Amino acid sequence: VYEGVPDNVIGTLYAKDLLSCDLADPKTTLRGLLRPAYYAPTTQPINVLLREFQRQKVHMAVVIDEFGGMAGIVTLEDIIEEIVGEIEDEYDRPTSLIKRISNDEAIATGDTSVHDLNRTMDIDLPEDEGVTINGLIQHRLETMAKTGDQVEVGPVTFIVERATDREIASVRVLVDRTPAEAEEPVERG
């Protein structure tokens, strides 16, 4: 929890403390529920931080940069995932997905990054028009995408297969790999 600006961390609020307190009691304050924050520098190795988490009996640290500002937070789960790999739980959203059907066709989620699509399909879509397929298509349409919308970006055709009011859930990606015809040279005489 911070006060005023994110660099001014005043403590950590544990869900179990909040859920077990008497909110009807007028003496209950947010500040009274806070525990001291644990701080770690950006340079601290994760094995040292893991031992500190065990010793201090904490599951989260506020990471401080060289200027004393907050660089972010790191949790026990973050450290464990660095050691053993990604741990998916009930709170993790499914990662973006590209299901390759053939060399020239795929089905992807709208939140798939253009970079990942470029790499997977061996294409070169612009990454400055949208970080995700959703963003690229909306940029080209200049409106929210709807099911059935079709957008061409160079040799790639996107067909929106499923969309909500806010995002593309599924899009078909078709790549035309036929070489573009070279223009006939103009003879001058």
Q: What's the CATH code of the domain at 66? A: 3.10.580.10
Same domain (yes/no): 19, 76: yes
Where residue 154 sits, what CATH number does that domain have?
3.30.465.10
Instruction: Round to whole Å and give the CA distance between 82 and 51.
Output: 15
Per-residue model confidence (pLDDT) at position 11: 93
Report which of residues 49 and 179 the model is more confident about: 49
Same-domain check for residues 123 and 54: no
Residues 128-138 have a mean pLDDT of 92
Q: Is residue 7 part of a domain?
A: no
Spatial separation of the C-alpha atoms in residues 26 and 7, rounded to whole Å: 29
The widest CA-to-CA distance across the chain, in whole angstroms, is: 96
CA-nearest of 149, 170, 159, 156 to 98 is 170
Flag whether 89 is in a domain. Answer: no
Mean pLDDT in residue range 84-108: 78
Q: Above 90 in pLDDT, residue 187?
A: no
Residue 65 placed within a domain: yes
Confidence of residue 81 (pLDDT cuts 50, 70, 90): confident
Integer CA distances (angstroms), 43 to 46, 47, 93, 94, 138, in order: 9, 12, 29, 31, 40
What's the pLDDT score for residue 149?
A: 96
The per-residue pLDDT for range 101-117, each reduced to its tens digit, is 999 999 999 999 999 99
**Residue 25 is encoded by which pair of tokens?**
């009691």
Residue range 9-49, pLDDT digits in tens: 999 999 999 999 888 888 989 899 999 999 999 999 999 99
Give a yes or no: residue 5 inside a domain.
no
Whether residue 80 sits in one domain with residue 142: no
Q: State the alpha helices, DSSP H only, in the chain.
A: 15-20, 30-33, 46-56, 76-84, 114-121, 133-141
Residue span of the structural domain in which 21 resides: 15-84
Q: How far apart are the C-alpha atoms of 149 and 37, rounded to whole Å?
A: 49
171 and 102 co-located in one domain = yes
pLDDT for 88 beyond 90: no
% of the chain exceeding 90 in pLDDT = 62
**Domain assignment of residue 90, yes or no:** no
Last residue of a domain, one of 84, 112, 132: 84
Flag the least confident range among 28-42, 71-85, 118-132, 172-186. Answer: 172-186
Higher-confidence residue of 45 and 93: namely 45
Task: With cut-offs at 50, 70 and 90, classify the pLDDT of residue 167.
Answer: confident
The mean pLDDT value for 135-150 works out to 94
Query: Has residue 97 got a pLDDT over 90?
Result: no
Last residue of a domain, one of 49, 84, 119: 84
Same-domain pairing of 128 and 171: yes
Residue 76: per-residue pLDDT: 93
User: What is the per-residue pLDDT for 180?
Assistant: 67
